[in-house]
Structures are given as structure tokens and as C-alpha cells.
A and B are shown apart, each in its own frame.
Chain A
């Protein structure tokens, strides 16, 4: 068992957004979370990562049986949780290379220094496979990046940090089809028996390229329907009213 979300309740400013969300994602699987706007998809991602704006009022998120919610934001990251942001922050003056290096350094025990030569070698190889220009290492993190560049950068960070659980929050938004393919190839190359993906998306399109093992529909802060990849196609065809209406009935 890799990732387990148990009866999760969370609110923002006193308004409950997640209302008893439960989900199990076995190691090695890719699960998609779909849902209409306002259903709580991005809230789930932020709550898992530990954003201050959200108060968890009940339930838990377990990674290999360990509570993520009991950890600080950075501890969760070092425990293996990665969030690919829908809107990645810009960090002026901090180069991509230095940022990645600092993130990797943070994972080493005290007194141990990262091997700079091996680091650059690894980073360049991964950049090449994601079609990212090498000049990119010297640019400030996400500053002045196009939407597509930001998303590729998220995927580069993911491949460098090699998380155990990766949550992709609307990674397809704002991407043209070529960029989408590059991003999907990056994710697919990372799929492995020990790694779990939670792919959050509004549209089915991304799931043509990152094919999920299971699809869950989120509505009003709860999973209301689960199925295999055909569920995504069905949603695309019939619209979210089809499931949310079914829930109401």
C-alpha cells in the first residue's frame, strides 16, 4: 500500500471543501482525479502538500502507513511527496540549477555535500530528454517562463527529485499538444512499480497520453464514482452532470 487518503475533511476560511474524501492508490499505479470546477481537486493537492490556507478538520493522508499530515511541508517533500503545481511560483535571482541543487542537498544528511559533476551530468541528461535547452539552467526559476516552460520545469524537478508519490495538478492546462506530449513522455518514463501518481485534471485529453489505471470523479469534496480509464472517455462524452446528477439521485 503506498498512498492512502482516509475520510479527509478540509476547509478554507471556515468553508468545508473536502468532505470525507477517501482513496487508496497502490504502489506503481496511476490514478486520475477528475471533476468539475470547484469540486475540490486543487484543494486536495494543496492539502496533501500542507498549504497554510487550508485547515484539515478530519481524516488523514498516509504514505506507507505514515501520516503525511503530521509532517511539515518540507518534511513531506523529503518523505517522497511531490506536487507539480498548476501555477508554479517564480523565484527571481535563483537559477534553476541552484534551486534543484538546494532541493537535492536538502535530502542529504548533515555534512554531506552533493557531487556537483554528477549533478550536472544527471540534470543535463534529463533536460535533453524533456527537450529543455541547456541555457535554461542559468535562468531564474520560472521567471518570465511561458506556460509550457513552467510545466516542463515542474516535470524536470520531478524527475530530478524522484518522488514516491507525485501529484500532478492540472499539468495539462495551458499546454499545446506538442508540449503536452513532452510532459506526458516525461511522466511515463517515470512510471515504476515503486512510484505512485495522482493525476488531477479537468479534461480527458491528458489521459490519452498518461493512461491511468483508475479514474475517480470528485464532486463536492468527495469521490462519487470510480472506474477504469473508460470512465474518463464517458465523462468527456456525457459531461460532469451525468455523474453529479447521478450522485444527487
Chain B
């Protein structure tokens, strides 16, 4: 429709606009490699309480004790050189409330990515993180007046410890996996959001994660608590310049939806092809609450991410809608975890992956419904689209349903963009790349409709760009 084409893109992050960086003088640099001294450095810079410092140090031990998950995931993980990574880089200034107070090179970065403009147009609040710390963080007055808290995680920890500490590390324990332990040791940045009971935040809150430095690791930590009957939509975007060396992004995101609350968490990940993106995301849904993860993974070298929902209260609902596009040299290992822990809980997983050229997509799902529960439902659909014979797709659905009072449904399909399809479209005047794009957009079309308009337009544009690059 014509109105769609006139909408400005939500996050203007194609690989070409994202591929730039500034030489920044960092006030704080923890140096390369990870030891207890690194943690002391970070805790000192942040002026953290002793319990946080201890929490970090325990996490470091857990990280060191856990093996790499190469046996089930990918041997490519061996190529991460933890000793060469810089774990903390910041400009030394706190998050500004006004773009005028953001240091020039950071401000220019976010302007080039279009963030301030989008904020003016349709966002309720924005946090913009540059390497380890937020450069800008602001929430519109009308939203703040309702009692909504939207700050970066360091501020959340310092200023709202009574809410923060109660839930921090509770949905995703430190030892959940090697990378959640790593994040727990060196976390910095990320969002802390609290929405008071009954408050429905009309416009989305958005975070933008930007990696600027080379041989760097970004470890943001996000905690979102939505109180009884409240609602929020959170969107995150991410980019990095393309470097020859590898970059690590390892976030932990915890969501808590209290009774009757609704959280929608939307990600459009478009990291450059040298980024290892190893993220743990999970939500806890209380009675009659709903958590939806809408997850798009387009960039990165290797993404491992399986957003999950623990349905703890009766009639809680969990949903994961994901789109993954693996181009040459990329591996998207994504999926969903649905843990049913109360009666009449329901979950829905719809995953679509596209593998192009040498790209590889893997779907890994886990659905768990224990025997003592009644009336639980799960629907899982995973569809893979292959573009040319060299690409690869694997599906590992693990559905554990005990007891006989549940309804589960699982469907999987693999299809190809056929030469006849492309020939047909070209015969109507579309170039090969346009034809590919149209096929891919058609494949994900029913999922893209679930997105807010600004994001669906942007996603379509990103797919177009990927397909343009993949046709010789």
C-alpha cells in the first residue's frame, strides 16, 4: 500500500549505513582479557556495592568452570579468543538526558543511524548504548509521570535496588549457560524498565545497541518488570562496523510479567558478519500474563539465541515469533524454549528461517509440559526456506509432553525458491535479486504482519539488501 512506502524506517540499519566507526578516546578501558582485576576495574568505575562485585566474581568462576557448548552447537565457538577481547570501554560520562549533552562522535553515530529522529516521531523513550555504556537515555515526560522507569541497568541498580535486586538473575541464573555466566561477570549497560500496575505504555520504548570498537565485547543486561495488568512494548536494534577481527555480543535479558501483564519484546538484530552473538533471553509469566518475543536475526557471524517463556501462573501465555536469515558465512542457531509450569498455560512458536548460499540455519526448540498439569497447549511451526543447493538447515524440536490432558501440535517444512519461480518473476520484468527478495518476503509475510508497521517496513528493506548482495 502507498501509506507503507511513505513510513520512515524504524531503525535505519542496513549493513552499509551501519558500517562505519569513530576513533573514540575512551576514558575507561579495562584492557584485554578477563581476570578478577577486570571485574574490580568495572566495579570501581561504576562505584558498585560489594554484593554486585561479589556477584560478578562468583559468575566469573562459573564462567571459567563451564565448557564451551561446542558439542551441540558449533565448533566455530572455539574461534572466540577471550584473551584478546576488551571487556569494558566507556567515555566516562553518564547517560545524557538530552542529545545536546552526548559527546559529538557518539551523537553523530546515532544521528547517522536515525535514532533521534525516530524518537521524536513515535517512541515513548530511548536508550542508546555506545560500547559498554548508555550515551543517551530518556523517557517522555508523559510516560515518566505515570511512574514508568526506563533507565540503563547501572542506574537501575543504583537507584531502584528494591525492585532490581528482587528479580535480577532470578529468571536466568548465572549458571544457566557459559555465556549467561560471562554476562553476569562483566555486564554493563542494557535497560531497566519498571511499569507500575495498570499502566499501559502506548508507544514503544526502544533501545539501540551500538558497537564501535574493535576486538570488543558488549555485555548488556536488561531487566524488564511489568506489574499487574500493565503493558509495554520494547524494541531493540543493534549494529556494529565490520572489522577483520571478531567481536563478541553476549547479552542477558530477563522479563517479568506479573498477573495479567503483557510484554512484547521485539528485536531486529543486524550485526556485521564478524560478530558472535550469544544471547540468553527468558521471561517469567505469572497468572494470565502474556510474553511475546518477536525476534529477527539477519546479521552476525554466529547467533545462538533461544528466547524462552516460563509460564508460572495459571492461563499464562508465551509466544516466540522468529525470523532468521543466514547468508554466506553466517550461522543462525535460533529457536525457543517454552516451559509450562501451571495449568491451562498456552504457548505458540512460529519460526521461519532462510538460508542463502553457504548460510546455515538451525532451529532448536524445547517445549516442556510436565505430567501433573492440566489443559496446556503448545503449537510449534518451523519452516525453512533454502535458496540454492549449498545452504543448510537443521531442525531440532524437543517436545516433552507428559500426561494426556494437553494439546500439542508441531509442523515443520522445508521449501526452496525454485528456478521456475524466479524465471516466472523475471519474465514479468523483475531482476533476479528483486525476484529473490519478493520470494523471501512472501515466505515471511505472515510473520511480518505481526510487527509494528515501522519495523515491518525496515525488515523488508533489510531483506531486499541481503538478497541484492547474494545474487551475483
Contact = CB atoms under 8 A, between A and B. Distances in A.
Contact of A49 (B427, B430, B434): B427
Contact of A140 (B1, B5, B442): B442
A113 B5 contact: yes
A107 B429 contact: yes
Given A85-B424, A89-B418, A91-B424, A74 B432 contact: yes
Given A89-B420, A91-B424, A106 B441 contact: no
Interface residues of B, number: 28
Interface in A103-150: 103, 106-107, 113, 116-117, 140
Contacts of B420: 89
B438 A106 contact: no
B425 interface: yes
A106 B434 contact: yes
A78 interface: yes
B121 interface: no
Contacts of B419: 52
Interface residues of A, number: 32
B309 to A, nearest CB: 27
Contacts of A49: 423, 427
B166 interface: no
B439 interface: yes
A93 B421 CA distance: 13
Interface in B399-450: 415, 418-421, 423-432, 434-435, 438-439, 441-446
Contacts of A102: 430, 434, 438
Q: Is the interface of B mostly helix, strand, loop or mixed?
A: helix
Contact of A74 (B431, B443, B446): B431
B271 to A, nearest CB: 26
Interface in A1-55: 49-52
Given A93-B446, A113-B5, A77 B439 contact: no
Given A51-B423, A102-B438, A113-B5, A77 B428 contact: yes
Given A49-B427, A89-B424, 12 more contacts: A50-B427, A73-B427, A74-B427, A77-B429, A83-B427, A89-B418, A89-B425, A93-B445, A93-B446, A98-B438, A102-B438, A161-B428
Q: List the 6 closest pairs (A to B, CB-CB), nearest first.
A: A93-B442, A116-B2, A94-B442, A89-B424, A93-B445, A73-B426
Interface of B: 1-2, 5, 415, 418-421, 423-432, 434-435, 438-439, 441-446
